[in-house]
Amino acid sequence: MAPKDINAFNDELRELHISGQWQYEDLLEKAIHGPRPKGEPYIWKWNNVYPKLVQACDALPESYTARRSLLFDNPGLQAHGTTHTLLMGIQIIKPGEIAWAHRHTMAAIRFVIQGNRNAYTVVDGEVCPMEDYDLILTPQWTWHDHHNPTDRTTIWLDALDVPLIRSLNAPFYEPYAGNRVQPVRLHESEYLQLRAGPVRPTWEKPKKENFPMRYRWKEIESKLKALAKEPGSPYDGASIEYVNPIAGRSTLSTLSCWIQMLRPGERTQRHRHTSSAAYFVVQGEGTTLVGEKALQWERHDCFVIPNWLWHEHANASKTEEAILFSVNDIPVLSAFGLYREQPENSLRAFEAPVVPVPAPK
Ligand code: GTQ
């Protein structure tokens, strides 16, 4: 029997919605070099963003069901997203406003930029005051509404796992039935947050995830300062991860939050990893080299490091500390054994192009 022509055979298969693995061999071969980074390095300057936040208050006079949030689209991605898994943005709420209660399967965090003791987010009935640089979690499917009963606008950073949840096609959304705000728990004794500290009741089982949580900046800052006396990470300086205090792992199952200090004059070593990250500058000035780009940052700028791009950070000041808040998708990659990190100096030290490191716990 004459051998079948392979192109004709491929066509016959296509008619049946079948393809032979041999047609995808080039995709496998490309992966010899590891993943192609998704999206580009980019920086959103506070000088550009802040005036737009103010103008958004006029353009969108009322923010009830929608949020007055400016979301950062990576110029190198087709879909909405700051990275292929993470979405970062900045939200503003005017004096006297309430952003109505809703919940969704997309998990979110807030990092307060211009806060106030009397502004707050309610998460599953628990009041979380929004003071400067506090981190507040609104985990997957928790009810949340934002309140600004003060006479100053309140501004915070939003970060969500929206692109990941979209790519998994698992979005659900629900406005709070018939009402703009959810009821607030009357007594703090009912708060799950009270059970997530150094003590908890002996008479009940702890809820291990998706509980409301506020990480007060005052406490985090003092821990960061204390840990910054250690040498830290050669790639990230004095970098600490916010943890779920009960489960001991990342704040959320799809997203991890970090706060890191680059000490005066500190310049980190270059590396790359399979995770992507979006950054917010809490204080200081510096430069992050990402791929071919130099991102020059200062206070309240946001920037993005796509997955698998070489990068390094430098504090521009010889006298002042620089502090960066960031969110990353390490928990997702780690969960499936896909977190890999490559230090640049391994290129010189080893033949192997990729050096897997143990996933963080
Ligand atoms: O503030 O609740 O940027 O639910 C996207 C979805 C903000 C919020 C966003 C949200 C919110």
pLDDT digits (tens, 9 = 90+) for 237-264: 999 999 999 999 999 999 999 999 999 9
pLDDT digits (tens, 9 = 90+) for 308-317: 999 999 999 9
Of 160, 166, 180, which is best to mutate to test ligand 1, by the most ligand atoms within 8 angstroms of its C-beta?
160
- Find out whether 100 and 65 touch, Cβ atoms under 8 Å: yes
308 with 166, same domain?
Answer: no
Among the atoms of ligand 1, which is closest to the Cα of residue 144? 2
Please give the single-letter amino acid code of residue 70: L
Please give the single-letter amino acid code of residue 262: L
> What value does the mean pLDDT take over residues 11-21?
96
37 C-beta closer than 6 A to ligand 1: no
Nearest CA to ligand 1 atom 6: 67
- Find out whether 66 and 58 touch, Cβ atoms under 8 Å: no
Q: Which residues pair with 262 in a beta bridge?
A: 322
pLDDT digits (tens, 9 = 90+) for 146-186: 999 999 999 999 999 999 999 999 999 999 997 799 999 99
- Residue 118: partners with Cβ closer than 8 Å, 6 or more residues away: 129, 149, 150
325 with 228, same domain?
Answer: yes
CA angle, residues 327, 332, 338, in degrees to nearest 5: 115
Q: Which residues pair with 295 in a beta bridge?
A: 288
- Find out whether 244 and 212 touch, Cβ atoms under 8 Å: no
Among the atoms of ligand 1, which is closest to the Cα of residue 104? 4
Is the residue at 28 inside a domain?
no
172 with 46, same domain?
Answer: yes
Per-residue model confidence (pLDDT) at position 2? 75
144 C-beta closer than 6 A to ligand 1: yes
Percentage above 70 pLDDT, the chain: 95
186 with 59, same domain?
Answer: yes
Nearest CA to ligand 1 atom 1: 67
Residue 348: pLDDT band by 50, 70, 90 thresholds?
A: very low
Neighbours of 138 (CB within 10 A): 29
Among the atoms of ligand 1, which is closest to the Cα of residue 158? 3
190 with 219, same domain?
Answer: no
Of 64, 67, 112, which is best to mutate to test ligand 1, by the most ligand atoms within 8 angstroms of its C-beta?
67
91 C-beta closer than 6 A to ligand 1: yes
Among the atoms of ligand 1, which is closest to the Cα of residue 89? 3
55 with 180, same domain?
Answer: yes
Among the atoms of ligand 1, which is closest to the Cα of residue 91? 3
Phi, psi of 53 (to 5 degrees): -65, -45
**How many Å apart are CA 342 and CA 242, to the nearest integer?**
23
Tally of domains within the chain: 2
Residue found under tokens 């939050």: 257
DSSP 274-340: S--EEEEEEE--EEEEETTEEEEE-TT-EEEE-TT--EEEEE--SSS-EEEEEEE-HHHHHHTT---
189 with 50, same domain?
Answer: yes
pLDDT digits (tens, 9 = 90+) for 218-240: 999 999 999 999 999 999 999 99
Does residue 350 register a pLDDT over 50?
Answer: no
Q: Which DSSP state fits 353? A: S
Q: Which of 195, 224, 239 is the last residue of a domain?
A: 195
The rounded Å distance from CA 89 to ligand 1 centre is 9
260 with 186, same domain?
Answer: no
Percent of residues in the chain assigned helix, strand, coil, to nearest 5: 20, 30, 50
103 C-beta closer than 6 A to ligand 1: no
**How many Å apart are CA 237 and CA 313, to the nearest integer?**
9
- Find out whether 248 and 256 touch, Cβ atoms under 8 Å: no
329 C-beta closer than 6 A to ligand 1: no
For residue 284, give both structure tokens. 């200081």
Residue 126: pLDDT band by 50, 70, 90 thresholds?
A: very high
Is the residue at 201 inside a domain?
no
How distant is the alpha carbon of residue 40 from its chain centre? 16
CA angle, residues 44, 46, 50, in degrees to nearest 5: 115
Domain that holds residue 160: 42-195
- Find out whether 69 and 89 touch, Cβ atoms under 8 Å: yes
The rounded Å distance from CA 188 to ligand 1 centre is 25
Is the residue at 210 inside a domain?
no
The rounded Å distance from CA 68 to ligand 1 centre is 9
150 with 242, same domain?
Answer: no
160 C-beta closer than 6 A to ligand 1: yes
186 with 56, same domain?
Answer: yes
187 with 302, same domain?
Answer: no
- Find out whether 273 and 308 touch, Cβ atoms under 8 Å: yes
The rounded Å distance from CA 138 to ligand 1 centre is 9
67 with 165, same domain?
Answer: yes
The rounded Å distance from CA 227 to ligand 1 centre is 32
Domain containing residue 233: CATH number: 2.60.120.10
Residue found under tokens 């047609």: 23
- Find out whether 235 and 310 touch, Cβ atoms under 8 Å: no
The rounded Å distance from CA 105 to ligand 1 centre is 12
Cα distances (Å, whole numbers) of residue 333 to 102, 159, 256, 299: 28, 18, 11, 30
CA angle, residues 206, 212, 213, in degrees to nearest 5: 95
69 C-beta closer than 6 A to ligand 1: yes
